[in-house]
Structure 1
Amino acid sequence: MRTRSASSRSAGRGRLGAGVIDIPSIPKIDPATAILANPQVPEADRYCGKCAKPVGRTTATAEARVKGFCPDCGTRYSFEPRLKTGDLVGGQYEVAGALAHGGLGWIYLATDHRVNGRWVVLKGLIDTGDADALTAAVAERRFLAEVDHPNIVKIHNFTEHIDPDVDAPVGYIVMEYVGGTSLKQILRDYRTETGNHLPPARAIAYVLEMLPALGYLHARGWAYCDFKPDNVMQTEERLELIDLGAVIAMDDDTSPIYGTIGYQAPEIGETGPTVATEVYTVGRTLAVLLMRLPVVNGRLGPLPTADTEPVLAQHDSLYRFLLRATDPDPDARFASMGEMAEQLTGVLREVAATDDNIARPAMSTSFGPPRGVVALGDTAPEPAKLIATLPAPLVDPTDPGAALLATTNAANPHDLEQAFGNAGDSVEIPLRLVRAEIEAGNVEAASARLTKIESVIPDDWRCRWYRAQLALLTEQVPDFDAVYAALPGEAAPKLALAATLEHTDNDHALALYELVWRTDHQFVSAAFGAARLRRARGDRAGAVAVLDQVEQTSAHYLPAAIAAVNTLLTNRPATELTEDLIRTAADRVARLTIEARGEAARVRITVLDAALSWLRLGGGVTGPGKLLDVDFTEAGVRTGLERCWRILAREADDMWTRFALVDQANAVRPRTRR
């Protein structure tokens, strides 16, 4: 599903780890120790730079060759380093040795004689005789002179050196020496040490850190094309893109497109590089860091499913993020790196909270805060009440109607329409009117307005959000799951989905409630929902544990504390009651400050009624003689109950209700001889 571009409201992030988790620092590597003693390209990695067919490998009739001509297309190839230790390139850079072999050629370490002998990196081409490769180098040189981003390797210069094999000048890009460890090597080392792929939170943090760099390129009309673990390096607490050899202008429909099979989007051959193809490579890179992908015909295959991959089963939001990022339909993927970063940040918060059970609250870039708490009792929320408390989509500040929307507090559809007048090109004003009609219960009017705006923004997630709410009001099955799939890092769709699943999929609803609550404690409805479902399955202790997490500073602390007392005692058979349990509930009540006399009386009744049932069953008191402020005897408890029922009677507005409450008081009062 397509969503709004969120580049104007990108999620702010700090150091590596997005301020959510800590990432182990990687020490900078001494340049002298990074040089390869025997630089070679493994036979399995030898391909023709022109037709991508295997070359230079051992066959049944020939031995492996490091240089020669491709048997398929005749293009010259060479896999041995062109530069030797001591070579002076461009009269300025003295080669110290080879560092690695990249997708477009060898990479060398050198010292800059003109700038205090600083270490630099020289990057050459796989095949200097390949015209396409030479063209790519020229294009790269023009672009790299303009690059200035903290997460992209800095380019110092572009120079040439005569290649003796072809007796012609060969271009080299002169880059800063980063001296870190690639994500590919970090993953390899971690797997060697633990046998596992990277922890999900760490893998997400790595990818998240690089999205602004890709967005920087996109904003300038360029596509990176070859995003993968090999091309990202960590030095201390910093990540950088280290190979820009495949960068190409998105409007370039003539130059060759370089990339890596298994990471490239399937449509790139037809569409060329786009933001959607870039999103795909990010999704594939994250998947490679997280899990072992199947290999099909020697290439990385599709994503595993949650049935076969534990990390996907454990983190559903992460799975949905990967599914959307790598959707076969380019239009269904994230619309920008900014939008991708916003959702991935939300997923990271959820994963981290799941790992250590510490909430990671944050402001959403798509929804406002919860507008209330629904369903404090034992029953699932009613549709209208649920809609009234769900977070509302935020207004896009770039919309033509944003300023007008900020000037009115009207909620009635008629008043809003009068205030707005002609919406013009605004999308937000029609959406606000749809919301007003829904909250007023005007199903037909809301549906008509929604149908009209859907013709303008048919793939916008907000249309799905309001369409699902309309389904709630008409007792149809709401599709909040589609909104969750589009916005996997947001809490609001999960909360709405959980509420609608309570009667049909109890386990799924509970998992969603607990995920939302564990991640962000401002969603108190999720706490009450989780407690309600745990209580329904007999897990009173689990329900109380959730309710106890509502903070004392919250406006909903008192309702949660009272709900915890009710959970402990209400509808509990007398045979399950104990003195410790009753005293625990009484201590909870004693610690509460309840200003409303009627509310205080009701919660005291819960405790005293349970105590009376236990005493009548023959329970013997062994602790202190008081329970709340009455004697912990049958007579004392009855006196306390009588007092509470009479308080409720005095608080009642209705005469007949008052009579009924007085009868309750009379019925429970202790018997006397008078």
Structure 2
Amino acid sequence: MRCVRSGCPGSYGAEGYCDECGRRAPAGAVVAPPGGSVATAAATMPSVATISAGSARTGSGRSRPSARGGLGAGLIDIPRVPLRDPATAVMSDPKVAESRRFCTGCDAEVGRGRDGRPGRVEGYCPHCGHPFSFVPRLRAGDLVNDRYEVLGALAYGGLGWIYLARDRNVSDSVSDRWVVLKGLINTGDADAMAAAVTERRFLVEIDHPNIVKIHDFVQHPDPKTGERVGYIVMEYVGGQSLRDMLVARRAEGVRVLPLPEVIAYGVEILPALGYLHDRGLIFCDFKPDNVIHAEEQLKLIDLGGVRRADDDVSAIYGTPGYQAPEVATAGPSVASDIYTVGRSLAVLSFEFRGFASTYADRLPEQAQVPLLAQEESYFRLLRRATHREPARRFQSAAEMSEQLLGVLREVVSAVDGVPRPTLSRRFTPERRAFGTGAGEVGDAVVADLRPASVAAALPLPQVDVLDPGAGVLATLSVTDPGEVVRQLTATPTRSVEVTFRLVRARIEQGDQAGARAGLDELAAADPYDWRIDWYRGLAALAANNPGEARIAFDAVYDELPGEPAARLALAAAMECTGDPTAAERLYTRVWRVDHGYLSAAFGLARIRLAAEDRAGALAVLDQVPDSSSMHAIAQVAAVRASLHTTTRQPVEPDDLLHASVRLERLSLDVERRARLAVELLEAALGWITAAQVPRQRPSAGDRVLGHELTERGLRFGLEQAYRAMAQLARDSDTRIALVDRANTVRPRTLI
């Protein structure tokens, strides 16, 4: 049914309100509910009991998502911020602080006090003659457009005063629809008026749950000049801005917001910016002031600075300390919006003194900020987001959000020690675990870390399914590197993914020159593709050049600070270059986030054992889940770690007993069990026959693999183990040697 209001072109929706003017349908009017059947307005309207106080109808035919907020991304719980009563939000004495009074014509200071006298709130700029006014144009009780009843001023900003009003067309005796009217500080400002007109053209079409809803654009005569002034009508969001939350924390003696919360805020709001970017819009003036936390949701407010990406005419609005340095010359872009998000996260997460002056275009040194020194991934994320070169920043809000979520997983897991794994969109899982020699049982056990083995085991970049060569790679069934090179060289399809696969095959072949040539070709086409550095790192490891690999993987970590695979590769390169301290730090972060990266567990155990931290090595090996294919290997490594002895940390009876219990629990084949039993019994016999007096004597009845922890008992046990291995020997020489050992170690007896 068409709206009965004179001159209104709208129609009543299923909820019983006009989709144009918002007026309620008269009683008995016939409207169409969602299912399409005819019903009366009275029948389709919610009952009084189902309407909460302060709820609002949008007056728009478009539906909007109304789901519970996703703050925290399911990783942390963020306290709700209760909605504020609109009536208590208005300013009792609306004023613009003198320190914030600037001429909109030349940006000079205006309205400043002198000789103890307060500055003027209206007048003309003494530098350029441009008029200025810092007085609200609307007062309580004013009726704008015969519809919006003003309650008072809420705040002021770079583009104008913000007023709270009640929508008379929607509000009734049951509920009120509160809206915000945003006007101009100076009605004579042509740039500001142009911005308002621009908003009227496209902002009403924006419909995202994390962006304040623009309902209308109206005009109202200026009470002083009579000129018609434009006002934007938007939904009222009754929460707290992130800046207000930061100020409140500082009043309590806490200078910053908790890092997990700050990161969660970024993860939540970036999709809203991405929504704008996908529609060719740039927000321009993102900062903590423009994000409201209301209950369990964030809202991006103050769309006054939003402009089209191809707009070269409209005035550009931004805030010093947040605005990207290239905006003044190159204009705003997606990359400049990314910059403002990075700066905002920095301001919220650490005490950023001088962010609008000394550090207006850069971050402090990592060593100057304890948080950044502790949270390496977060520092790298901020550094990339705020890079001076726009091309080096995240190229989309989605890309930054993905990496920020990975950093959040790392930060939260470091706090409570609970893994928070997820499938990577960038990397495959580990091809195999590397550095597991301590858990292997055989004739040629390699316990140290070999760069080439790392190169063959690290994850690989995921294939871009949109690449023209993705189909060719999907049908490639051979694994021999030479055959892969032959087939891909012969295929007529040439693409980025095909070239990367050729590079990988040549690395596996040992063709370093061919791999470098392929990577140079890719770098010439796109020097910012992180996969080039990844394969340079793999090639360097395969060529036993871990120093070069470390540089390459460090560059990947800069590009992908939220990816555990990048940290794992860099940790391995660090360990291979003889830097166990740095490697341990990264291995720890990888393992805490995702127990699927088993190489990190073995790396940690290896480094801790070398540092004589036997307990730390055992603790991490015990964390390898029993559902893992590497569980038995981890337990074998733990048995050997228990037998590892140094001057500062000799083996004690408890270590031998614990190793015995571990080995007895393991499901191993006969040969491996016999080999490991020999290692354990030899270590026990060596301990008990040592010349020095043991620091800890065994208790009566202590047994190792069922044998008494005495010299006689251990000799009998070792004799049996040697004979068991002799029975499994594959050649007669080995069998004879083992029998000789058994006879030598056997204790003296009468028979």
Residues 578, 571 of structure 1: CA spacing in aligned structure 2 closer, same or farther, 3 A cutoff? closer
Residue number in structure 2 paired with 1:364: 424
After superposition, the C-alpha distances for 1:574-614 in whole angstroms (9 at most, x for unaligned) are 983333232222222222222x1122123323332232233
Are residue 529 (structure 1) and residue 588 (structure 2) matched? Answer: no
Structure 1 letter corresponding to 2:536: R
Deviates more, 1:270-279 or 1:127-136: 270-279
Structure 2 letter corresponding to 1:350: E
What is the CA-CA distance between 1:640 and the residue it aligns to?
A: 1.7
Residues 576, 467 of structure 1: CA spacing in aligned structure 2 closer, same or farther, 3 A cutoff? closer
2:452–2:543: 8 Å Cα contact kept in structure 1? no
**Distance in 2 separating the partners of 1:14 and 1:559:** 44
**Distance in 1 separating the partners of 2:749 and 2:646:** 29
Are residue 383 (structure 1) and residue 457 (structure 2) matched? Answer: no
2:241–2:292: 8 Å Cα contact kept in structure 1? yes
Residue number in structure 2 paired with 1:672: 749
Structure 2 letter corresponding to 1:17: G
SS of equivalent residue, structure 2 residue 368: coil
Residue number in structure 1 paired with 2:587: 513
**Distance in 1 separating the partners of 2:646 and 2:474:** 50
Residue number in structure 2 paired with 1:627: 704
**Distance in 2 separating the partners of 1:613 and 1:355:** 42
Residues 536, 427 of structure 1: CA spacing in aligned structure 2 closer, same or farther, 3 A cutoff? same
What is the CA-CA distance between 1:434 and the residue it aligns to?
A: 0.7
2:103–2:130: 8 Å Cα contact kept in structure 1? yes
**Distance in 2 separating the partners of 1:133 and 1:56:** 19
* TM-score normalised to structure 1 length: 0.94
Residue number in structure 2 paired with 1:317: 377
* Unpaired runs of at least 5, structure 1: 1-12
Larger gyration radius, structure 1 or structure 2: 2
Deviates more, 1:377-386 or 1:358-367: 377-386
After superposition, the C-alpha distances for 1:304-327 in whole angstroms (9 at most, x for unaligned) are 222110000110011111111111
**Distance in 1 separating the partners of 2:700 and 2:280:** 76
Residues 221, 544 of structure 1: CA spacing in aligned structure 2 closer, same or farther, 3 A cutoff? same
After superposition, the C-alpha distances for 1:497-547 in whole angstroms (9 at most, x for unaligned) are 111212432211111111111111111101101111111111111111111
What is the CA-CA distance between 1:280 and the residue it aligns to?
A: 0.7
Corresponding residue to 1:499 among 558, 562, 572: 572
Corresponding residue to 1:244 among 289, 300, 303: 303
Residue number in structure 2 paired with 1:273: 332
Residue number in structure 1 paired with 2:737: 660
After superposition, the C-alpha distances for 1:152-183 in whole angstroms (9 at most, x for unaligned) are 00111111111122320111111111101000
What is the CA-CA distance between 1:298 and the residue it aligns to?
A: 5.1
SS of equivalent residue, structure 1 residue 593: coil
SS of equivalent residue, structure 2 residue 266: helix
* TM-score normalised to structure 2 length: 0.85
What is the CA-CA distance between 1:637 and the residue it aligns to?
A: 1.7
Residue number in structure 2 paired with 1:293: 352
Are residue 37 (structure 1) and residue 92 (structure 2) matched? Answer: yes
Residue number in structure 1 paired with 2:57: none
Matches within 5 A, 1:303-452: 303-377=363-437, 379-420=447-488, 421-422=490-491, 424=493, 426-452=495-521
What is the CA-CA distance between 1:194 and the residue it aligns to?
A: 4.1
1:82–1:163: 8 Å Cα contact kept in structure 2? yes
After superposition, the C-alpha distances for 1:439-469 in whole angstroms (9 at most, x for unaligned) are 2322222222222222222221111111122
Are residue 459 (structure 1) and residue 536 (structure 2) matched? Answer: no
Residue number in structure 2 paired with 1:599: 672
Structure 2 letter corresponding to 1:641: L
Residue number in structure 2 paired with 1:472: 541
Are residue 557 (structure 1) and residue 623 (structure 2) matched? Answer: no
After superposition, the C-alpha distances for 1:212-245 in whole angstroms (9 at most, x for unaligned) are 0101111111100011000000111100101100
Residues 623, 114 of structure 1: CA spacing in aligned structure 2 closer, same or farther, 3 A cutoff? farther
Corresponding residue to 2:252 among 146, 171, 193: 193
After superposition, the C-alpha distances for 1:396-447 in whole angstroms (9 at most, x for unaligned) are 1211112222222322344334544445452111101111111232222222
SS of equivalent residue, structure 2 residue 233: strand
1:156–1:175: 8 Å Cα contact kept in structure 2? yes
CA RMSD of aligned residues (A): 2.1
Matches within 5 A, 1:149-164: 149-164=208-223
**Distance in 1 separating the partners of 2:602 and 2:649:** 27
Are residue 114 (structure 1) and residue 169 (structure 2) matched? Answer: yes
SS of equivalent residue, structure 1 residue 307: helix
What is the CA-CA distance between 1:61 and the residue it aligns to?
A: 9.0
What is the CA-CA distance between 1:130 and the residue it aligns to?
A: 0.4
**Distance in 2 separating the partners of 1:343 and 1:553:** 29
Deviates more, 1:42-51 or 1:129-138: 42-51
**Distance in 2 separating the partners of 1:592 and 1:401:** 46
**Distance in 1 separating the partners of 2:222 and 2:733:** 104
1:294–1:304: 8 Å Cα contact kept in structure 2? no
**Distance in 2 separating the partners of 1:43 and 1:68:** 14
What is the CA-CA distance between 1:141 and the residue it aligns to?
A: 1.4
Residue number in structure 1 paired with 2:657: 583
What is the CA-CA distance between 1:62 and the residue it aligns to?
A: 6.3
Residues 103, 624 of structure 1: CA spacing in aligned structure 2 closer, same or farther, 3 A cutoff? farther
Residues 425, 133 of structure 1: CA spacing in aligned structure 2 closer, same or farther, 3 A cutoff? farther
Residue number in structure 1 paired with 2:444: none
1:275–1:336: 8 Å Cα contact kept in structure 2? yes
1:359–1:521: 8 Å Cα contact kept in structure 2? yes
Deviates more, 1:314-323 or 1:611-620: 611-620
1:543–1:567: 8 Å Cα contact kept in structure 2? yes
Deviates more, 1:80-89 or 1:52-61: 52-61
What is the CA-CA distance between 1:474 and the residue it aligns to?
A: 3.0
**Distance in 2 separating the partners of 1:233 and 1:573:** 60
Residues 640, 238 of structure 1: CA spacing in aligned structure 2 closer, same or farther, 3 A cutoff? same
What is the CA-CA distance between 1:633 and the residue it aligns to?
A: 2.9
Corresponding residue to 1:25 among 80, 83, 96: 80
Residue number in structure 2 paired with 1:5: none
Residues 625, 474 of structure 1: CA spacing in aligned structure 2 closer, same or farther, 3 A cutoff? closer
Deviates more, 1:381-390 or 1:526-535: 381-390
**Distance in 2 separating the partners of 1:123 and 1:131:** 16
1:109–1:119: 8 Å Cα contact kept in structure 2? yes
Structure 2 letter corresponding to 1:389: A
Structure 2 letter corresponding to 1:434: V
**Distance in 2 separating the partners of 1:651 and 1:148:** 74
Deviates more, 1:293-302 or 1:222-231: 293-302
After superposition, the C-alpha distances for 1:36-72 in whole angstroms (9 at most, x for unaligned) are 1111111111122232222211135964111112222
SS of equivalent residue, structure 1 residue 240: strand
Are residue 608 (structure 1) and residue 668 (structure 2) matched? Answer: no
**Distance in 2 separating the partners of 1:14 and 1:636:** 67
What is the CA-CA distance between 1:77 and the residue it aligns to?
A: 1.6
Q: Which has the higher contact order (CA 8 A, sep 6+)?
A: 1
Are residue 539 (structure 1) and residue 613 (structure 2) matched? Answer: yes
**Distance in 1 separating the partners of 2:702 and 2:638:** 24
Residues 103, 657 of structure 1: CA spacing in aligned structure 2 closer, same or farther, 3 A cutoff? farther
Residue number in structure 1 paired with 2:138: 83
**Distance in 2 separating the partners of 1:442 and 1:540:** 41
Structure 2 letter corresponding to 1:67: E
Residues 49, 653 of structure 1: CA spacing in aligned structure 2 closer, same or farther, 3 A cutoff? farther
What is the CA-CA distance between 1:672 and the residue it aligns to?
A: 1.8
Corresponding residue to 1:568 among 631, 637, 642: 642
Deviates more, 1:100-109 or 1:568-577: 568-577
Are residue 172 (structure 1) and residue 231 (structure 2) matched? Answer: yes
